[in-house]
Amino acid sequence: MQQAGINAAANRLLEEFVQPSTAYRSVPFWAWNDRMSVDEVKAQIQEMSKQGMGGFFMHSREGLESEYMGEEWMACIQAAVAEAKATGMKAWLYDEDRFPSGGAGGSVPRLGGDAYRSKAITMEVTRDEPKDTSDIIGLFVASVEGDTLLTCRQVDTTEPDLLLDSEVWLICRKEISGPCEWFNDEAPVDNLNPNAVAAFIEGTHEHYKAVIGEEFGQTVPGIFTDEPSIADFHSLYTKPWLPWTDGFAEYFQERRGSSLEALLPYLFFHGEHSAKARHNYWRTITERFCAAYSEQLGQWCEDNGIAYTGHYLIEHNLGIGTRVSGAIMPHYRYQQVPGIDLLGEQADEFMTVKQCTSVANQYRRPFVLSEMYGCCGWDFTFEGQKWVGDWQFALGVNVRCQHLSLYSLKGCRKRDFPPVFNYNTSWWKYNHVTEDYFARIAAVMTQGEAVRDVLVIHPSSTIWAMIGCDPYEYKGWEDPNLLRANRYEDGINSIIRSILAFHYDFDFGDETIIEEKGHVTEGKFFVNFAGYQVVVLPRLHTLLGSTLKLLLEFMDEGGTIIAVGQEITMVDGELSDEVQTLYSHAGIRIVVDEAELCSTLEDALPRQVGIRSRTSGEAPEFLYYLKEMPDCYALFVVNNDRDKGQEVEIMLAHMGRLEEWDTLTGETKELGIEVSGDHMRFVADFGPAGSKLYVIHKGFQPRLSENRFSSSQSHLFRLADATLGPACAFTRTMPNALLLDVCSYRMRDENWSEPMFVWQAQMCVREALNMRQVHYNGLPQRYKWVDEAHPDNGQPIGLRYIFQVNAVPITDVFLVLEQAEQYEVCLNGVPVAVEIAGWYIDKSFKKMKLPQLNKGTNELVITCAYESKFEWEDCYIIGDFGVDVNRSIVKEPEVLHMGDWCLQGYFHYSGSIVYHFDYTYAYQPGVAAPSVLMEFGTYEAITMEVRVNGVTSAHVPWREANKVDLTPWISEGSNRIDVEVMGSPRNLFGPFHQKGTHNVWVDWTYFYREGARVEPNYVVRPYGLLSPINLFLT
């Protein structure tokens, strides 16, 4: 596609925008979670390619039955690489069995023994003199008051010491973590030990390189590390603890030039030396973790021609993030594709994103990955994808890693933090719509350099000085030190939100990185390649000495520093008068709050972008991202308010020809502007969760036109010329379904149990047979035990389901079972031949034809010789019938009314419904044919497609796109307008008994809730056109 009036480079950018290449498309977590098959691997890759994905991460996941890194696994890896190459996709590696990374499925700690197992320094407060001193790191006699240290002296473990009545022993020991089921019955790995990490690389990265061969670094561009940590939540210690490793005391001495041993109690107790001890401990832990893990992996990847990507644990919380990583930002230095994860349906974690995108900008890493959408539930919409993705793209992310593309939905796998992005979700055929949308943004916003003039010093060193551990009890997230850090973090988040809401983009500056890569040049404060005109100090309590020195140099050369408050009292975690040189310098401006910060920023720094509302100045709901290229600027603007749209005036401090590039359709159009000095201004209307991409061509004259806020929308107060609804003919696109999730069970010749949920019946049976439970996530991987014989295999077990039929279906009805070949089936006392007749939703969900149902009560009995490897799940009756709110089979309606289809016979339906409308298009002879604008009212859908006379005219994936120009497809006279409304598997798979119809966070526990958290009735998500559609002739 060539466009007149712009240069060749801009035309190449436009071509990439219209049809984005693989490089800018998503790379989902493809969860390998069953017995793997080469043929199925190839088939699913072809599906992903057809639906617009750019690649995939081959990710071991819950339920895997092929041995991780074994022969079957590697055969599938090779097949996936070959198929990816054939389809033009990229096959990315994932470095662990499930997560977190480092242990290679437990093989690393098994290989290295205790030396490679996770370690901690623990605290014991006791009056009893220690008997065993072999693992003591430090022994102290102290007087304490709660968690405050009053007096403390270190004593030698070989010399006894008498305690005063007011004194206690403080015993600091090295402890090795116990084993955990999640790590396949091994301990977590010690990621502070460089030898353990080297063993991890040898057993994983080197193995993959050898097997993949010449496509390593070609079709296989990189490898994902997932949540590596130094203090895994699964670690098992007997006392309150903090991370440790062999040789750490010596490493600390080397890095800090002083001994840690005498300061150990201050890591747990508050006292005179606590801030310095904690600051230096966490600083050194950060350096050790970076050197042992991230730098080693990053260097290996660079040396071997692939990209190191992935994300670290708990990036979103400064307190617990410190406990598990020391500091997050320094690790990103070593990633060729820095990454984060952002779980749940939310748009709040500005710090998470900015930490990563800042380092990417400073190191000129063009791609930033975000693992997103996990825990959003089966009912996650395309608008949800857009909302969660847009604001991250506005902050610098440009690679989506969808969580998850499940290889199989069998058993507990379907509850592995849905939604699912693969063939086995009902809306899959429209996945390409969001793929193209985000790829178009990425194709443009990956180019050039970010225009950011503000640096915010990250508060990691302040957090270091805060974080200890309760000395009496390990309290996890509820540790008082972490709660204090959380309160402090709230203030930091308020500051960065205010800066972004006032439309000044910024980068974080991490002090560890600044110490290595910071410099002042030509009046700018540089962090590696990125230079800044203004530095903000956001209520910090301490600075590194190296940072303070650079800040003073920056001000000496005319730079501006804005300090929120005057709270810095320490240098390197220790009280120091040096900070007065900072606060007394003429180059610093001290402000009291966020409002004064923003006004001072505006005084100190010319604004690049303004986004003003009609009445209240800068519109705080909006975010922007500005990139500069040699020939143009690109501006991505996002309305982060999901509930309401807004008309705004956009100001840009750059001139040129302005175009809007439609990221949904790939179309472009020139816009008119007003000129105000050396700025351009124009008005734009954004819908809820709306966004727009603008390109400003340098050296080309803009089209001048008047831009003003509109007094009203053109058709807002006029009646529709035609209305579609309130009832119409319709078509289902999938069989309807009755969920059977309640049963009675019987073991051997015992009586039937009381009715209960299927998962509860399975739990009872497996407990009685002394078999490990399988209904929930978190057990040792199935490949470790699934093929082992169990002494109680073969016990006769039965399940009985009772369901009601008010109207007998006249067409074939099918039973859908997982692991159907294991069962015998009887319907109403009549044996049913288990003859597989295809599959439903997922290839492991097998269909078998049932005899005619009876009117009234029906009994379905399923029996088997039960084995440990079995996974009982809900089953389904599917066919052409209705299902009412009492979950009985009823007659299907002949027409569908506007409103929730769940209440009209489709209570558990998971597919789409096509609404059929007839419309006659007529106009006066001799008059120009009017345009036809369709506007949707309220609806509930994953996405929608509009077809006119059988031809697709528009996709409506979100409310901002709910106005559709039908003119190119409408013919004079009779027209058929079809609207396909996509549902989801939510009303088939649940959860059904959680409070409320929609949760912004869904994990596997939501499917098994008990007690006060349970809603006794079935809660389903409404779907359908809820109000008529309006047509306007203009």
Domains present along the chain, CATH in parentheses: 454-604 (3.40.50), 625-704 (2.60.40.1180), 722-731+893-1033 (2.60.120.260), 736-879 (2.60.120)
Token pair recorded at residue 565: 């408050």
pLDDT at 711: 57
Give the model's pLDDT for residue 988: 98
Whether residue 936 is predicted with pLDDT greater than 80 in this model: the reply is: yes
**Nearest in space to 58 (alpha carbons), one of 226, 271, 298:** 226
The pLDDT tens digits of the residues spanning 139-158 come to 999 999 999 999 999 999 88
Per residue, the 3-state secondary structure of 748-785, as one string, reads CCCCCCCCEEHHHHHHHHHHHCCCCCCCCCCCCCHHHC
Q: Is 199 exposed, middle or buried (0-12, 13-18, 19+ CB in 10 A)?
A: buried
Mean pLDDT of 367-391: 98
Position 8 scores a pLDDT of 81
What would the two tokens of residue 913 be? 């419904």
Residue 713, pLDDT > 60, answer: no
Residues near 675 by Cβ (< 8 Å), separated by ≥ 6?
Answer: 655, 681, 702, 704
902 secondary structure, DSSP code: G
| Distance of alpha carbon 385 from alpha carbon 981, whole angstroms | 17
d(CA 805, CA 854): 7
pLDDT digits (tens, 9 = 90+) for 335-369: 999 999 999 999 999 999 999 999 999 999 999 99
Q: What are the pLDDT digits (tens) for 856-878?
A: 999 999 999 999 999 999 999 99
Which residues face 184 on adjacent strands? none
Its sign, for the CA torsion 121, 122, 124, 128, is negative
Rounded Cα distance between 559 and 578, Å, is: 19
Who contacts 777 (Cβ-Cβ below 8 Å, separation ≥6)? 62, 412, 415, 416, 1004
User: Is the peptide bond prior to 109 cis by the omega test (within 30 degrees of 0)?
Assistant: no
Higher per-residue confidence, 708 vs 307 = 307
Question: Is the confidence at residue 395, as pLDDT, over 90?
Answer: yes
Q: Per the structure block, which two tokens stand in for 274?
A: 């606590």
Task: Give φ, ψ of 424 to 5 degrees.
Answer: -95, 35
Q: Are 507 and 351 in contact (CB under 8 A)?
A: no
| Cα dihedral sign, 131-135-141-147 | negative
Amino acid at position 581, single letter: T
Is the pLDDT at 742 greater than 60? The verdict is: yes
Identify residue 595 by its one-letter amino acid code: A
Q: Are 158 and 78 in contact (CB under 8 A)?
A: no
**pLDDT(715) > 50:** no
Query: Quick one: pLDDT at residue 158?
Result: 83
Whether 174 contacts 87, CB under 8 Å: no
Q: Quick one: average pLDDT of 522-540? A: 98
Q: What are phi and psi of 588, to 5 degrees?
A: -105, 145
Q: Tokens 């093989």 label which residue?
A: 107
Q: Does 687 score more than 80 pLDDT?
A: yes
Residue 192, preceding peptide bond in cis (omega within 30° of 0):
no
CA distances to 813, 994, 1008, 1014, 1018 from 1011, rounded to whole Å, are 36, 11, 10, 6, 15
- 398 neighbors 445 (Cβ within 8 angstroms): yes
Q: Which of 706, 663, 711 is nearest to 685 (CA)?
A: 711
In the block, tokens 């209305």 appear at 723
d(C-alpha 388, C-alpha 399), whole Å: 13
Is the pLDDT at 996 greater than 80? The verdict is no
DSSP character at residue 180: B
Query: Distance of CA 520 to CAs 155, 365, 744, 788, Å?
Result: 48, 22, 74, 65
843 has a pLDDT exceeding 70 = yes
Q: Token digits for 202?
A: 């040898």
CA dist., res. 237 & res. 123, Å (int)? 11
Supply 980's token pair: 């396909």
Arithmetic mean of pLDDT over the chain: 96
Return the minimum-mean-pLDDT range out of 507-521, 816-830, 916-930.
Answer: 916-930
Length of the chain measured in residues: 1034
| Tokens describing residue 698 | 């340098």
For 429, the token pair is 């055929």
Contact 707, 647 (CB under 8 A): no
Tell me the percentage of the chain whose pLDDT exceeds 70: 98
Residue 651: beta bridge partners?
Answer: 610, 681
State how beta strands 369-372 and 339-342 pair: parallel
Is residue 610 over pLDDT 70?
yes
Alpha carbon of 928 to those of 920, 931, 932, 971: distances in Å? 17, 9, 12, 14
Distances (CA, A) of 581 to 535, 576, 600, 761, 793: 16, 11, 21, 71, 77
- pLDDT tops 80 at residue 999: no
- Residue 990: HSE in the Cβ half-sphere, 13 Å Cα cutoff: 27
Q: Rounded distance, CA 838 to CA 846, Å?
A: 6
| 167-208 pLDDT per residue, tens | 999 999 999 999 999 999 999 999 999 999 999 999 999 999
Q: How confident is the model at residue 233 (pLDDT cuts 50, 70, 90)?
A: confident
What are residue 257's DSSP bridge partners?
none
- pLDDT at residue 161 in the model: 77
What was the pLDDT predicted at 99? 95
CA 677 to chain centre: 43
pLDDT for 469 equals 97
In the predicted model, is pLDDT for residue 924 greater than 90? Answer: no
pLDDT confidence of 5, banded at 50, 70, 90? low
In the prediction, which pLDDT does 1004 show? 85
Q: Which residues pair with 633 in a beta bridge?
A: 628, 696
- Tell me: pLDDT of 1005 over 90: no
Task: Give the residue among 312, 334, 338 at the shortest CA–CA distance from 324.
Answer: 312
According to DSSP H, which parts of 898-953 are helical? none
Question: What's the CA gap between 475 and 472, in Å, rounded?
Answer: 9
Contacts for 708 with CB less than 8 Å, ≥ 6 apart: 683
Whose structure tokens read 């040096």?
Answer: 578
Whether the predicted pLDDT of 224 surpasses 50: yes
What is the predicted pLDDT for the residue at 1013?
63
Peptide bond into 991 cis (omega under 30): yes
For the residues 920-938, what does the mean pLDDT come to? 90
Q: How far apart are CA 848 and CA 842, in angstroms?
A: 14
Q: How far apart are CA 174 and CA 135, in angstroms?
A: 6
- Give the integer Cα–Cα distance in Å for 171 and 122: 8
CB–CB of 555/586 below 8 Å?
yes
How confident is the model at residue 271, as a pLDDT?
97
List, in order, residues 6 or more apart from 377 with CB less than 8 Å away.
345, 418, 419, 986, 998, 999, 1002
Residue 592 vs residues 548, 595, 617: alpha-carbon distances, Å: 21, 8, 21
**Which residues 6+ apart lie within 8 Å of 273 measured at CB?**
263, 266
Can you name the residues that pair with 298 across neighbouring β-strands? none
- The closest alpha carbon to 712, from 688, 685, 693, belongs to 685
Q: Tens digits of per-residue pLDDT, 286-322?
A: 999 999 999 999 999 999 999 999 999 999 999 999 9
Distance CA 984, CA 971 (A): 33
